[in-house]
Chain A
Amino acid sequence: MSFMGFFISVFALASAIGVVSVRNPLYSAFCLIVHLLAIAGLYAVLESHFLAVSQIVVYAGAIMVLVLFVLMLLNLKTEEGRGPGVLRTCIAVAVGGVVLLVALPPLVGRFARMSVIQISDAFRRSEGTVRAIGAELYGDYAVQFELSSLVLLIGVVGAVMLSKRKNPTLGPRPGGLFAGGKQ
């Protein structure tokens, strides 16, 4: 792992732990933004610049702005009391640790011996990864590409339908955001 990769990895890990452990949801959103930017940096370290940039555009630029927007709109306070509790935290971390211990050795052992030199050649052959990715997308993956546009369309329609008020008589429970002042 290069120095740059190590540096960014530390950032990614620290901010990931921040997302999970910080109490205020807004702060964990900020941690997640740092995390996503760090992941974009790791993509750049792994020589896939197009993915790094599109990671910033899609995740940091669109999804997280949306999340931040919702968080600010709801204006949530810090979760009071009722944390997960020490016991549950311990159990979750222990299970996570066990999974890590079980899964890590075969994963690393399987690929550790593969040489990395072959790749650089493959990347160099594909004059600029943007062009190569585009050729792949519209060649072998054309059907999937079209389907993904359909998924996006369905997502848009679904979001619009969900945020539309169907029956005004049902209305929100008093005290909700859209109830209009305190009751």
Chain B
Amino acid sequence: MSSPVTYIALSLVLFIIGAIGVTLRRNAIVVFMCIEMMLNAVNLAFVAFSKLHGNLDGQIAVLFTMVIAAAESAVGLAIILAVFRSVASVDTAESAELKW
């Protein structure tokens, strides 16, 4: 019998891997991708919970997360591009000064 609990554990592990990536990596786009990974880990947990409880609320939550992630990626990548335009780098350490 496949149990959703293992997927919850997996999602926790994935979330932690993503968090480690966010703290360690300097490249803004990679940090962005790690955030996406953390969002996905949470989504996986939602789907597992949805299966566990036998209702669809978890799946609806995942749909909303996807919408937010899509909007976030559009704005986030636009910000990264704008920063790259003024600092010529996507290194998060390079754009420490808040003003140009």
Is there an interface contact between A67 and B32, defined as CB atoms closer than 8 Å? Answer: yes
A158 CA to B6 CA in the complex, in Å? Answer: 39
Is there an interface contact between A20 and B17, defined as CB atoms closer than 8 Å? Answer: yes
Residues of B within 8 A of A (CB): 1-10, 12-14, 16-21, 23-27, 29-30, 32-34, 36-37, 40, 43-44, 47-48, 50-57, 59-60, 62-64, 66-75, 77-82, 84-88, 90-91, 100
Q: Say how far B48's CB is from chain A's closest CB, in angstroms.
A: 6
| Known interface pairs A25-B29, A151-B67, A158-B75; A20-B51 also in contact (CB < 8 Å) | no
Q: Say how far B83's CB is from chain A's closest CB, in angstroms.
A: 10
Q: Say how far B95's CB is from chain A's closest CB, in angstroms.
A: 11
Is there an interface contact between A19 and B60, defined as CB atoms closer than 8 Å? Answer: no
Q: Say how far B23's CB is from chain A's closest CB, in angstroms.
A: 5
**Could you jot down 27 A-B contacts, CB within 8 Å?**
A1-B2, A1-B7, A5-B7, A25-B27, A28-B33, A43-B47, A46-B51, A54-B66, A55-B43, A70-B77, A79-B91, A82-B26, A96-B19, A103-B12, A121-B54, A122-B55, A126-B56, A133-B60, A136-B57, A137-B60, A148-B67, A152-B71, A154-B71, A155-B70, A158-B75, A159-B75, A173-B87
A132 nearest CB neighbor, chain B only: B56
Chain A residues with CB under 8 Å of B4's CB are: 46, 111, 116
Q: Which of A101-141 contact B (CB under 8 A)?
A: 103-104, 107-108, 111-112, 114, 116, 118-119, 121-123, 126, 129, 132-133, 136-137, 141
